[in-house]
Structure 1
Amino acid sequence: MSWSKALRHSVLAGIMLSLPVALGACSFSPVYSGTLAAQPGLNLAYAKPTSRLQQIIYQELALRFGRSDSQTAPLVTVSAIGSAAEMMVTPTTNPAKPLMVTVTATLTITARDGSDTPPRSFTRSATADYTRSGQVMADNAAAENAAERAARSAAESLRLALLAALSR
């Protein structure tokens, strides 16, 4: 019995000593430091939004990365879809019902400088909760607010995915 306990301790010590060496071989590239974080301007052009969710995502990305009017700047196009679903499976007599809005956004970057670079695409989803109270105006306002919050979260996730892809 003491042999297995000593063996366990030595194996555990070996793992603990080899863990920093194994993780040191990985190449982590943080998105909050380095050249992209110091100068996040990417010289991007944005397509025209066709919905409020797209407009929010374009605004968030332009705020973080900047905007270019150059004809050769890479073109960013976003498609965003929002959907709402009830969070409770069983029916209830309570008029206040929790719902969840999910926004799924796909960002595509297309080079326009004549290079053969294939378009890059990123898809991210984000959710936001709201409560439906039975009052039409309040329900509509809460649904719009939740959709906008989810769109902002999706835009932030797309921004981080883009930074991570460009840092490689």
Structure 2
Amino acid sequence: MSWSKTLRRTAVIGLALGLGPVLGACSFTPVYSGALASQPDLNLAYGKPNSRLEQVVYQELALRFGPSSEAETAPLATVSVGSSAADMTMAATANPSKPMEVTVTATLTIARRDGSTTPPMTFTRKATANYTRSGQVLADNTAAAEASERAAKVAAESLRLAVLAALSRG
């Protein structure tokens, strides 16, 4: 059985008109801007870094959330970062290149300083990055440091998304 042109056209127009309000009811919240990114809870004061990896995480968070304009009463964000490297070779080989993996664990604690009794929010995220050791000390150290910084940036982005998710729920 074949549909007539008029019936097909009416069905397509009806479907298009019916889907408009349904899709219009859907909403997405942008992560990089909008009401969620401009909350006063994100007006953070940052602690002092104790290592290069902590400095990377602080810089990434300050870049995304922005610096605090009220340093005395803004919630204090403190970060602790640890890293470890693991040899990824499965068996001994004659190849001097050894694949390595560095894991960075970053913990962000946001404590209120406005006199409220709200407990601090704590988030912990891990990130990994790979690099290759070649047996040359300078190259190995540079590759390990660069991989650690890459993993720290990924962990900072994951922390940022965790903070935004927590604020959107509460």
Specify if TM > 0.5.
Answer: yes
Q: After superposition, where does 1:12-23 map in structure 2 within 5 Å?
A: none
Where does residue 148 of structure 2 map in the other structure?
147
Separation in structure 2 between the aligned mates of residue 44 and residue 96 of structure 1, nearest angstrom: 43
Structure number, greater radius of gyration: 2
C-alpha distance in structure 1 between counterparts of 2:39 and 2:65, whole Å: 5
Partner of 1:66: 66
Q: SS where residue 100 of structure 2 aligns?
A: strand
Give TM-score, length-normalised by structure 1: 0.78
Query: For 1:35 and 1:156, how far apart are their aligned partners in 2?
Result: 19
Q: Deviations over 1:105-163 (max 9, x none)?
A: 00000000000110110000000000000111000100000000000000000000000
Distance 1:105 1:30 in 2: 26
What's the offset of the Cα at 1:47?
0.5
Q: 1:55 maps to which residue?
A: 55
Query: 1:65-144 to 2 correspondence within 5 Å?
Result: 65-68=65-68, 69-144=70-145
Distance 1:85 1:124, change over 3 A: same
| Count of aligned positions | 141
Q: Unaligned regions of 5+ residues in structure 1, if any? A: 1-27
Report deviation, 1:84: 0.4
Greater CA drift, 78-87 or 63-72: 63-72
The 8 Å contact of residues 29 and 36 in structure 2, kept in 1 or not, is answered as no
Q: Residue 35 of structure 1 corresponds to which residue in structure 2?
A: 35
Q: What is aligned with 1:163? A: 164
Q: Secondary structure at the match of 1:35?
A: coil
Paired with 2:144 and 2:78, the residues of 1 have a C-alpha distance of 25
Moved over 4 A (4+): 28-31
Structure 2 alignment gaps of length 5 or more: 1-26
Q: Normalising by the residue count of structure 2, what TM-score does the alignment of the two structures yield?
A: 0.78
What CA RMSD, in Å, does the superposition of the two structures yield over aligned residues? 1.9
* Secondary structure in 1 matching 2:80: strand
Aligned partner of 2:80: which letter? S
